[in-house]
Amino acid sequence: MSDVKKLSKSGTNRFVEYAKGGYNLFKGTGKEIATVFKETKQFGPKVAIENSLARREKVHGERAAVAVSVAATACGLWVMTGNPACGYIALTCGATAAAEFAMAIKGNNINVEREIKDIYKKASNNSR
Amino acid sequence: MAVEKVLVDEFDILKNGDQYAIGFDVDDGPIFDADFMYDGRNCAILTRNNKKAFLLPNINPDARKILSKLDSIVIIERTKGEVSNVYEVEVRHVENIPYPDTFQEDVNKMLDELKAELGEKEFGELMKTIAQEYKKDKK
């Protein structure tokens, strides 16, 4: 054991999310992802992920999204952006954008691919 | 005195430039001393005030490589949604923490659950779409 070096609480707002972990990381997420995918599959998994963020309690949406990306990685695939840091940051920072995006999809005929790219671009810029 | 073990349900690995932090919920009062052990695999252990050992399982494979190289890490403790303690602790690299690495198993379970929910056809469709997205990202 060693004495800890205490730091300023206000300094924590400079940190951005890189990854998630924990005992419950995968619990129940298969079912959750399936539900979201069934409802939104016409837009592909990226939108399913964003919608899960928009429609569900934030932490669960993130957990589902992270679990999808982890599962994809485990299968030798990468679902987000090719850059884990950007992917996770996008999922965290994109919550508001995702909510707006989900509403836009509902009401308008919009270019899904372009909108997704914009969300990820904004999130990547935020992370720098 | 025996150290109480606590399994952490959810935690965040955070980044600020080259500095990394772990954030999680703790309701345990002020911090005086700590010990952070990591063996480069699935689980790290934060022992707090020599009273409680927090097991941090399911560390993402991408984060494992980074944690393995760190000399120190910032711990951000949250209580009822507010940051309660922030401190830096040395990362003690140890050979083997006796905690089962079930990461891949948990991923597989989740995929099985997903397959059971969606059925073989839709599950295949989801995986195919993910693969297509992956190829696009690679370009």
pTM above 0.95, yes or no: no
Among B20, B24, B56, B58, the strongest candidate for a mutation testing the A interface, having the largest count of A CBs within 10 A, is B58
Mean pLDDT of A49-64: 41
Q: Supply A19's token pair.
A: 């990854």
Q: Supply B129's token pair.
A: 């779409």
Q: Give the pLDDT band of residue B69 (cuts 50, 70, 90).
A: very high
Minimum distance, in Å, between the CA of residue A105 and any CA atom of chain B? 20
| Mean pLDDT, chain B, whole residue set | 85
By three-state DSSP, how is residue A2 classified?
strand
Element (H, E) at A12: none
Find the closest chain A residue to B14 by CA distance.
A17
Element (H, E) at A55: helix A45-55
Higher pLDDT, A4 or A126: A4
Q: Give the pLDDT band of residue A37 (cuts 50, 70, 90).
A: low
Q: Supply A107's token pair.
A: 């009401």
Q: Which residues of B touch A32 (CB under 8 A)?
A: none
Among A3, A14, A18, the strongest candidate for a mutation testing the B interface, having the largest count of B CBs within 10 A, is A18
List pLDDT tens digits, range A1-30: 777 889 988 888 788 777 778 888 777 667
Task: Answer yes or no: is pLDDT of B54 > 90.
Answer: yes
Residue among B70, B37, B72 nearest A1 (CA): B37
Q: Cβ–Cβ of A21/B56 closer than 8 Å?
A: yes
List pLDDT tens digits, range B74-90: 999 999 878 999 999 99
Q: Cβ–Cβ of B114/A46 closer than 8 Å?
A: no
So where are chain B's domains?
4-93, 102-139
By three-state DSSP, how is residue A19 classified?
strand
